[in-house]
Structure 1
Amino acid sequence: MKKKTLSSLLLISLLFIYCNRLPGPSGVDIQYPETKKVDTVDTYFGTEVADPYRWLEDDNSAETEAWVEAQNEVTYSYLEEIPFRDQVEERVKALFDYQRVTAPNRHGDYYYYYKNDGLQDQSVYYRTMDPDSDKEEVFLNPNEFSEDGTISMAGTFFSKDGSLMTYLISDGGSDWRKAITLNTETKEMVGDTLTDLKFTGVSWRGNEGFYYSSYERPEEGEALTAANQNHKVYFHEVGTLQSSDRVVFGDEVRRRIVSAYLTEDERFLVLSAAQGTSGNELYINDLDNPESDYIQIIDDFENNHQVIHSDGDRLLIYTNREAPNYQIVETTIDAPEPANWEALIPESENVLNNASTAGSYLFLNYLEDAKSAVQQVNLSGEYVRDVELPTIGSASGFSGEADDEVLYYTFNSFTYPRTVFRYHIESGESELFKQPNVAFDPDRYETKQVFYESKDGTEVPMFIVHRKGMERNANHPTLLYGYGGFNISLTPSFSTDWISWLELGGVFAMANLRGGGEYGEEWHEAGTKMQKQNVFDDFIAAGEYLLQQDYTRSSKLAIMGGSNGGLLVGATMTQRPDLAGVAIPQVGVMDMLRYHKFTIGAAWASDYGRADESEEMFHYLYDYSPYHNLEPNTEYPATLITTADHDDRVVPAHSFKFAARLQEYHSGDEPVLIRIETRAGHGAGTPTSKEIEQLTDIYSFILYNMNEKPEE
């Protein structure tokens, strides 16, 4: 959004008629705007579809700016009058205020890691020569990048000897990045600052330069909304201007998402090319052979593939081709095509969620009913041992160099804070390295996993966390969270968000819906395109289970989800407005007929389908699209929609249009509000202070509209 102007302020009185009086927290009636409507109609396969709030898609207009201001004025006035909001903020802030340290990674002579003392807006990047010593130095402090803490680091990438390092920065939460390269010894900047990078990492080749990906520079004013189409891989030579960077992939093979990475020995450049979020072509180039060109290993988008190791001419590939739960195959550079693959780690009944190498071993991270189980095998595929984990939870970070003798991994669960362990690769011994001290007692809580039946009889797992000894009397404020898409698995993980809810007296439930990756590609596909309704059915059934088992009742059930999970909440509240008393759709995809027209939205068609691809697909999307399925004179749950003005992943117009129509159609007394964050994006890089404010507002809104108060 542009900065507030006097003309935009004057527009408020012209654009909005205040109506729909509802009782405010202070007992005084408050009002929210009725948004103007325009005569906009699209025709899909003979069906006319009205879109009266299309004008809100223009994020550069003064009218939209004025609308945002008017909505925020109403929303914040409501939230600030909640009598216990300060109490909620105090508890949330206390739970955020603990030291958080990531697992260290070795680059050259140093170990690098992030650390946040508690309430710092951005975590600080440190380094040390000895992870066991107290001698450390600040390498980069993102809190010095901006006064308001909204410029964040978005990735660090080192040359193999550790002498050069490139870091990415995001401004205001945008997916667009800048890349800055440093000499790690002097910390001085080397060469040009690269701009307008998007959806990329950095892969160094020696100290000569690095590969990165991006789109063409967006037109002025369109960076946050313009469609992202043809991704390209560039090579940047250190010390040269970005304008001289050469395209190494993407001129002839035009794809929506491409990425490049080097094998550890830097012999092979591997390129992944995709049209959507699932399924990729795979190319490889032998850089040791000057005459070599790209060899296409995979020529379709049906499955996912990644080269995870090379040894001479031998390649190891992690793939779900002919193995929905994933396997690792081996082949050679001379004959890398699938016809020549041999299974090194065959598919098992559990999903192989991740595979990595360290110390000349493979580490296999499986999901067993959405919980981590890690195996160590040698590079010939022979079993070595199971890695012993502390409890039920999620483990990550089993990667390193071939000569590493130790690695550092992270383990966490719902009530087990993110803890770093040191793992001795040869002996298999794990030892505690860094454990945070959070201001709550985990022994007061218990976590259980249940399996409930969805509408079509499918068994779906769900984690439920609550106080030990809690009586199930249908009277507990309960928060149900879900996602269900893009092959993403929700696993037990520690979050101050969930702990804050528990400490305020709530029950937390997380459902592992179809569309995710918890049970492999078949589970994922069962929640995509013409089967997307399964996801909503799974979530509705999760809510019904909580009601039937007397954890809560409808008036004390809140449903929440973000991005694709925001779509989930929007579809659930339109299909079953009676299910929950409160709905929190966050940065949601709400217009399923036009989502593909903005930024990277077209890539989501592999999960959603597109309204313009067939009449059948149009009707399917139209029948569940949250924006289009709001009904007049309907009593919807108390709703707090959240979005951000710099969200260039799911553009805020989705939430704007949904909020406008919800306010128009809602017939109940419950508030239906939208909270629009400024200088923030889809979520990554959000300053701690803004996270605390957002969470305080959400939980205050939920509890107030459940007629509850936070526990002391």
Structure 2
Amino acid sequence: MDFFRKSSLASIVLLGLLGCSSPDSGVTIQPADVAVEQAKKVLAEDPYLWLEEVEGEQALGWVKGQNNRTLAQLQANPVYASLEAQALDIVNSSERIPYGSIRNGQVYNFWQDATNVRGLWRKTSLESYATDQPEWDTIVDFDALATLENKNWVYKGADCYTAKDIANYKCLVSLSDGGKDAVTVREFDLSAKQFLSDGFTLPEAKSGAEWVDYNTLLVTTNWGGDGSTLTESGYPSVVKRWKRGTPLEQADTLFTASKTDVGAFPFTLDKADGSKVEGVVVAPTFFTREYYLFSGAQVVKLPLPEQSDLVGLYEEQLFFTVKQDWTVTVDGNDILFKSGSLLAMPFVVSSSITQATIPEVVFEPNERQAIEDVTMTKGQILMTLSDNVVGNVFAITKGKSGWISTKLDLPANGTLSVSFADPDEDTVFVNYEGFLTPDSLMSYSASTGKVSTLKSLPSWFDADDLVVEQKQVASKDGTLIPFFVIHKKGIKHDGNTPTLLYGYGGFQVSMRPSYNGLRGKLWLERGGAFVLANIRGGGEFGPKWHQAGLKTHRQVIYDDFIAVGEWLIDHKLTSPEHLGIQGGSNGGLLMGVMLTQRPDLWNAVIVQVPLLDMLRYHLLLAGASWVGEYGSPDVPEEREWLEAMSPYHNFHAATDYPEPFFVTSTKDDRVHPGHARKMAKLFEAAGKPFLYYENIDGGHSAAANQQETARRVALEFTYLTEKLMTE
């Protein structure tokens, strides 16, 4: 976790996985009176709206009843106790890698284990960190803090101001009540190890704050607490400048976004002379960005395409990526920049591109490549590239003849990710992992180019008799869909292998090879096979791979997943009797669609923190922000598609469904638990078997601590054992 990030741009872009969007301009929207009548009709036709009352007495009563029933059934299986014990050994092990960030020779880390359930925020020297037994100095004990304040605190990160001329570092610590996205922000003195009673404090909200200097913040929050400054998606719309020692309500307003925007979030850019450029990024939709800079009393919009992600300043150049084909016209000449490229342009606070500021192509991926991440370290830009779903990291520098991309000497044939980099630090942390290869944390020096391994995970399962294969299958429209298959060596292709197929397919999120000790120990080692589908909607092959399945084109995503499932059956790796599927959040929607469109293909379906009611999703929590991904129920053409796809509206009591397992969280303030509740209620009303578990805490991850994670995973693999491994 990066406690010392210089800019929150990366987190802004990833805010959902917040979800975001409003209908595209030029699309016909239903008149208000029609929308109201339609809403009344939905209310009249949906008898289970009471389950949308998150903490309503009747709703929670139903939830607790289902929890008790499901726990009694699954925990009674003799395999459960063994699976939970193994899961606890893994999640609480001290042999996990203590990932962290660096500042002035110190490594900062957040750590949870069986003793420290809520976790410790701690630090050690870089030299000590490189040893097998680092000497940790505890900064905050969150278990003790929760007890002292009688709060259900879940640590959500810290953003620290650490200019070298300030002796005592100050941090903005985010604390969540039970794991929600909404947090309380409190200023913390890193040297004194205590919260400041008179420091910067923000009440619970989905806030954003950025340090300008020691005494100044750019802040966006639920101003006044009444929701009047929030967008329709429930995110802040007003950015203000707040000076230390003044009341929050006296902060100066700098920018106000539209109510129909997803939200507005502050950022800063670090210049070479140490000064900062202040700005705000507005997300009109989940996939579009508008970048504004505060120049004196003026607000200047940067001349970037609407589908772009800003990286930062390097060598007086503004780095950014584009997610659309972009044509720039200068002096009558058109210049095309291809979607997915990394670009740089001379930095000038201007709303137009001139001959002097024409962008340069730093890197242009081919059709089977995708830029996964771009970060900055001391003297270099680091680019993480996926090449046919295999990772590489390149160091980018400026040469006499242009930009030079040098591939770092890192392990191949797996997933590489930069876990820490900072423009002020020479040391970079890079993580490597594969399906059968435990994580290794490596140190890279930007000045010397040296790479060394700092720490490695132990092997949590026996991988000696396992094999990884990458396959591909033609989807319904002929597009080749890659997928990974992990199974025991020499298995018989007789259709009897218990197989778990996982997918996501949305928001340009890539599914890449990863080492999962829980999956390996509780499933692969016991003879199960695991399949990861790289279906469209993800980002494995760049923006176009994602955009192929937007809105009314979304059926291609589901066809891709079905094609993978049919391949597994056709090649007799497994059979419908032994094939299970799993996905969460947007992947939970995928599971709901698979449950209703092809119930014949699977015998187990794990539906985690899902969207399922696609005619009301935009009215629940952050749902309005996802219209750019799914389409809007208020647009006739899109509503027609959503109704045809919506799992909640395509459940039929006469259909023979596999027994699903719904998993969600009461404290999830991103995807409403009402989706899972109402779908499960349809099964109950029809007298059809289903399992349901709702963690009362835990947020969108459905687990607020390691113990709860172990229990949830043990429940899921017990369910898969019953459904797929039983003769």
Name the structure 2 match of 1:146: 146
Residues 242 and 496 of structure 1: CA distance in aligned 2, closer, same or farther (over 3 Å): farther
Q: Which moved more, 1:185-194 or 1:431-440?
A: 185-194
Q: Please tell me the residue identity of whatever aligns with 2:365.
A: S
Give the AA of the match of 2:359. Answer: E
Q: Is the 8 A contact 1:596 1:604 kept in 2?
A: yes
Q: What SS does the corresponding residue of 2:472 show, helix, strand or coil?
A: strand
Q: Note the C-alpha offset of 1:239.
A: 4.1
Counterpart residue number, 1:623? 644
Distance in 1 (alpha carbons) for counterparts of 2:637 and 2:98: 48
Residue type of the alignment partner of 1:331: P
The separation in 1 between residues aligned to 2:240 and 2:702, in whole angstroms, is: 25
What's the offset of the Cα at 1:378?
Answer: 0.4
1:194 aligns with 2:201: yes
Match of 2:388 in 1: 369
Q: Is residue 2:499 matched to residue 1:484?
A: no
Corresponding residue for 1:563?
585
Deviation at 1:117, TM superposition (A): 4.9
Q: Distance in 2 between matches of 1:199 and 1:417?
A: 35
Question: Secondary structure of 2:175's partner?
Answer: strand
Residue 284, structure 1, aligned to residue 303, structure 2: no
In 2: Cα distance, 1:453 partner to 1:181 partner: 54
Greater mean alpha carbon deviation, residues 435-444 or residues 144-153: 144-153
**CA offsets 1:107-163 (integer angstroms, 9 cap, x no match):** 245321233457743442221233336333112232334369952211221113271
Give the AA of the match of 1:111. V
CA shift for structure 1 position 468: 3.2
Structure 1 distance, partners of 2:57, 2:259, is 40
Q: Greater shift after overlay, 102-111 or 248-257? A: 248-257
The size of the alignment, in residue pairs, is 658
Q: Which amino acid aligns with 2:38?
A: T
Give the 3-state SS of the residue equivalent to 1:583 in structure 2.
strand
Work out the CA distance in 2 between the residues paired with 1:677 and 1:209. Answer: 39
Mean Cα displacement is larger for which, 535-544 or 232-241? Answer: 232-241
Stretches of structure 1 lacking an aligned partner (at least 5 in a row): 1-40
Distance 1:704 1:132, change over 3 A: same
- Conserved in 2, the CA contact under 8 Å of 1:150 and 1:679? no
Q: What is the rounded CA distance, in whole Å, between the counterparts of 1:675 and 1:542 in structure 2?
A: 28
Matches within 5 A, 1:443-592: 443-499=464-520, 500-592=522-614
Superposed displacement of residue 443, structure 1 = 3.4
Task: Using the TM superposition, give the Cα deviation of residue 274 of structure 1 relative to its aligned residue in structure 2, in angstroms.
Answer: 0.8
Q: CA 1:428 to 1:645, structure 2 compared with 1: closer, same or farther past 3 Å?
A: same
What does residue 442 of structure 2 align with? Answer: 421
CA 1:326–1:501: 2 relative to 1, 3 Å: farther
1:337 aligned onto 2:340: no
* Residue matched to 1:155: 157
**8 Å contact 2:503–2:533 — kept in the other structure?**
yes
What's the secondary structure of 2:464's corresponding residue?
A: helix
* Contact 2:151–2:177 (CA under 8 A) maintained in structure 1: no
Shift of 1:310: 4.5
Superposed CA deviations along residues 320-355 of structure 1, whole A, max 9, x for unmatched, are 342322322213214453564322414220212211
Structure 1 residues 249 and 635, CA gap change in structure 2 (3 angstroms): same
TM-score normalised by L of structure 2: 0.84
Residues 93-132 of structure 1 aligned to structure 2 (within 5 Å): 93-98=88-93, 99-108=95-104, 110-117=106-113, 120-132=116-128
**Aligned residues of 1:119 and 1:689 also touching (Cα < 8 A):** no
Instruction: Judge conservation of contact 1:150–1:687 (CA < 8 Å) in 2.
Output: no
Task: Report the alpha carbon displacement of residue 586 of structure 1 after superposing the two structures with TM.
Answer: 0.6
Q: CA deviation at 1:577?
A: 0.6
Aligned to 2:334: none
Q: Per-residue displacement from partner, 1:32-73 (whole Å, max 9, x unpaired)?
A: xxxxxxxxx973899998222122212243221222222222
Q: CA deviation at 1:528?
A: 1.1
- Tell me what 2:188 maps to: 182
Corresponding residue number in structure 1 for 2:300: 295
Contact 1:94 1:439 in 2 (8 A): no
Q: Which of 84-93 and 640-649 deviates more? A: 84-93
Q: Is the 8 A contact 2:668 2:702 kept in 1?
A: no
Change (3 A) 1:460 1:253: same
* Equivalent pair of 1:143/1:149 in contact (CA under 8 Å): no
**Which of 165, 176, 186 matches 1:170?**
176
Q: Does 1:231 align with 2:267?
A: no
Q: Deviations over 1:257-302 (max 9, x none)?
A: 222221123421232111332111111234xxxx3522101487x4
> 2: distance between equivalents of 1:624 and 1:253?
28
Task: Tell me the TM-score normalized by structure 1.
Answer: 0.86
Give the secondary structure class of the aligned counterpart of 2:62. Answer: helix
Deviation at 1:636, TM superposition (A): 0.6
Q: Tell me the distance in 1 between the aligned counterparts of 2:699 and 2:724.
A: 29
Q: 1:432 aligns with which of 453, 464, 467?
A: 453
CA RMSD of aligned residues (A): 3.0
Structure 1 position 672, deviation (Å): 0.8
1:268 is paired with a residue of what secondary structure?
strand
Task: Give the secondary structure class of the aligned counterpart of 2:699.
Answer: coil
Unaligned runs of 5+ in 2: 1-35, 326-337
2:438 alignment partner, SS class? strand
Change (3 A) 1:404 1:76: closer
The question of whether the paired residues in 2 share the 8 Å contact of 1:330 and 1:342 is answered with: yes
1:691 aligns with 2:709: yes
Q: Is contact 2:293-2:349 (8 Å) kept?
A: no
Structure 1 position 633 matched with structure 2 position 654: yes
Matched, 1:73 2:68: yes
Distance 1:498 1:242, change over 3 A: farther
Secondary structure of 1:143's aligned partner = helix
Alignment deviations for residues 348-393 of structure 1 (CA, whole Å, 9 cap, x no partner)? 2021221111121111111112221111120455325211222322
| Counterpart-to-counterpart distance in 2, 1:296 and 1:585 | 42
* DSSP-derived class of the 2:563 partner: helix
| Among 351, 372, 375, the residue aligned to 1:353 | 372
Paired position in structure 2 for 1:57: 52
> Greater relative contact order (Cα 8 A, min sep 6): structure 1 or 2?
2
What is the alpha-carbon distance in structure 2 between the residues aligned to residue 698 and residue 332 of structure 1?
A: 51
- Secondary structure at the residue paired with 1:77? helix
- Residue 43 of structure 1: aligned partner: 38
Amino acid corresponding to residue 525 of structure 2 in structure 1: E
Please give the secondary structure, in 1, of the residue aligned with 2:298: coil
Q: Deviations over 1:171-220 (max 9, x none)?
A: 21111101121222111323346344545554212212323332356669
